[in-house]
Structure 1
Amino acid sequence: MRSIASYPLTLIFLLISLTLFSKSNAGGIVTYWGQDSREGRLTDACNSGLYSIVNIAFLSTFGGGRQPEINLAGHCNPGSCQGVGQGIKNCQNKGVKVFLSIGGDHSTNTYTLTSDDDARKLGDYIWDNFLGGQSASRPFGDAILDGVDFDIEGGELHYAALARKLHEHASSSSRKFYLAAAPQCPFQNNILSGALNTGLFDYVWIQFYNNGQANCEFNSNNQNGFRNSWNKWSSSINAAKFFVGLPAAHAAATTGYVPSQDLINQLLPIVKSPKYGGIMLWNRYFDNLTGYSSKIKNNV
């Protein structure tokens, strides 16, 4: 016969198990900083306590013989961004990872990779100027970023070669460096398919916005397209964590905005699983404007 005293222990064990399960599916919020001078300092973004990762956007010129160059849209001139370097250190001291995002809007055609050798040269440049390497021309000074985000929206292929080169450099370091990617939500209908198939990426934040005709964005009246896309991504790509990429305001994207209560009540129950990493928001300026992160943080 079971003693009465064993019941409280059983209850405690059950509560601990439920708590651990809940925490295992807890996520973080990722945002992009650097494309609007009205968004404030990088330090302020990290001091907000809202984000686990901030992507500095963008290294938007590279490849095809071009000299790689960052464009931070009014925060600093490409050759004088040492203040951002201090912001990176401040963020890291707060426990926030900071990545360099490469690519971005391709309408101006400022980036492409013309060959695997071109990709490997870019990998060397990124390692030496932003990560663990050495260079006399580091745009952010001696600040060492935590990883690289591939936000590639056009140009030629060869991004698999870039991922392998960055991984090769990182493998020689005792410090952990991360690879992330921001593909469009139609499954593998994008220029990053080869890179993602390498299995080298830690995080994939899928852009469920600006794809209104593709039936993969979230629709509160019919969730099947979103659910199918999410399940395909999270089950087919070898990555540690997957994030739902959304605009932080109606004005931040053409389509794809999800009201915060719809996200909490309808979207999150679909995606929460051991592979779920959290929510990615475009971008810090619009998040500041709407307070979107603050509304969802306790549920993400």
Structure 2
Amino acid sequence: MAFTRRRPSLAVSAAALLFVVLISFLLAGPASAQGKTGQVTVFWGRHRDEGSLREACDSGLYSMVIMSFLDVYGGNGNGNYHLDLSGHPLAGMGAAIKRCQFLGVPVSISIGGFGGAYSLPTNQSALALFDHLWNTYFGGSLNDTRRPFGDAWLDGVDMFLEHGDAADRYSTLALELAKHNIRAGDGKLLHLTATAHCRFPDDRVKEALDTGIFERIHVRFYDDPDCAAGFSAAEWAKWAAAYPFTKIYVGVPASPQAAETGYKDPAALRRAVVPVAQKASNYGGVMIWDRYFDKRSNYSGSIKSWV
């Protein structure tokens, strides 16, 4: 039977918004001192030579894998969408996703990326993107929708925005995703995350984050002139204080070749970064960019036991 859904009003009522925020609050729970979490998120999909998704999950190194990127969308909902996984074959990908989930490693899809062919200028375009995501990668089942991963459902959506501004309607998309936070049947969360530039605030995603419904924020302390030296304790403190009920992750490159600036070797990360980050009660762990470089450097293997 075709999936159908009543289109909500674009003006989210105060009661509906309160419900969404309350559910997110209850699911997250109050932040508490974390210390070592062992949580390591990795981006996968940017290099064909990085190995398969199944291999990444079977490594035992990661607590979440983010597939990147859905890099074409927006406008006025004209149906122009593009998933770029750097030539990885889609055949068997659904089985790999299920394998990761069986191992307890959720798999998310990241929207945005380094190209310039995406935007969300209107509520209409944001709702159209939600429809595409829900029916193509999650629980929707419109008869005319091509599902590249078959009946496998992904676990979440990440926002990785290299361009755009506060006028883009990512908050509309976030609220729509939050309404579908609990899957029908199996009760698993739809993880909502963002990967932000290090300087606070990141105007590209600020309005969405200010809804208070994001589970995680990965702060990129690399490839950013504001954090050319890498981790900034001052910027970290701003992120942690602004979103106390969201887990904040330290985003690092896996090797000097993975980023132009910001690399910290594992010893420096352990000595100068992690002790500072772990003082925040909502410290979540580390985000690694990316699987290709991590596979060659074993960066995550070097840090997992003490992050």
**Fold similarity call, TM over 0.5:** yes
SS at match of 1:280: strand
The 8 Å contact of residues 186 and 216 in structure 1, kept in 2 or not, is answered as no
* Stretches (4+) displaced over 6 A: none
Q: Give distance in 2, aligned partners of 1:189 and 1:274.
A: 21
SS at match of 2:180: helix
The 8 Å contact of residues 101 and 151 in structure 1, kept in 2 or not, is answered as yes
Report the TM-score, using the length of structure 1 for normalisation: 0.84
Q: 1:151 aligns with which of 160, 164, 177?
A: 160
Per-residue CA distance 1:185-226 (angstroms, 9 max, x = gap): 010133001000010100000111111x3147536xxxxxx1
Q: 2:101 aligns with which of 92, 100, 107?
A: 92
* 247-256 or 233-242, which deviates more: 233-242
Q: Give distance in 1, aligned partners of 2:180 and 2:106.
A: 19
Q: Give distance in 2, aligned partners of 1:162 and 1:232.
A: 25
What amino acid is aligned across from residue 81 of structure 2 in structure 1? P
Matches for 1:1-300 after TM superposition, within 5 Å: 25-64=36-75, 65-76=78-89, 81-106=90-115, 109-135=116-142, 136-155=145-164, 157-171=168-182, 173=184, 174-211=187-224, 213-215=225-227, 217-218=229-230, 226-272=232-278, 273-300=280-307
Q: Give distance in 2, aligned partners of 1:239 and 1:162.
A: 20
What amino acid is aligned across from residue 99 of structure 1 in structure 2? S
The 8 Å contact of residues 58 and 101 in structure 1, kept in 2 or not, is answered as yes
The 8 Å contact of residues 183 and 190 in structure 2, kept in 1 or not, is answered as no
Per-residue CA distance 1:133-159 (angstroms, 9 max, x = gap): 214411111111110010111135111
Q: Aligned Cα RMSD in Å? A: 1.8
Following superposition, the deviation at residue 23 of structure 1 comes to: 6.5
The 8 Å contact of residues 253 and 288 in structure 2, kept in 1 or not, is answered as yes
Report the TM-score, using the length of structure 2 for normalisation: 0.82
Following superposition, the deviation at residue 25 of structure 1 comes to: 4.0
Q: Greater relative contact order: 1 or 2 (C-alpha under 8 angstroms, separation 6 or more)?
A: 2
Q: Give distance in 2, aligned partners of 1:204 and 1:217.
A: 20
The 8 Å contact of residues 198 and 227 in structure 2, kept in 1 or not, is answered as no
Following superposition, the deviation at residue 27 of structure 1 comes to: 3.3
Q: Give distance in 2, aligned partners of 1:245 and 1:215.
A: 12
SS at match of 1:182: strand
Following superposition, the deviation at residue 239 of structure 1 comes to: 4.0
SS at match of 1:180: strand
The 8 Å contact of residues 101 and 107 in structure 2, kept in 1 or not, is answered as yes
| Bigger Rg over Cα | 1
Aligned length: 267
Which runs of no fewer than 5 residues in structure 1 stay unpaired?
1-20, 220-225
Which runs of no fewer than 5 residues in structure 2 stay unpaired?
1-31
What amino acid is aligned across from residue 92 of structure 2 in structure 1? G
SS at match of 1:58: strand
Q: Give distance in 2, aligned partners of 1:30 and 1:172.
A: 22
Q: Give distance in 2, aligned partners of 1:172 and 1:248.
A: 33
Following superposition, the deviation at residue 238 of structure 1 comes to: 4.8
SS at match of 1:218: coil
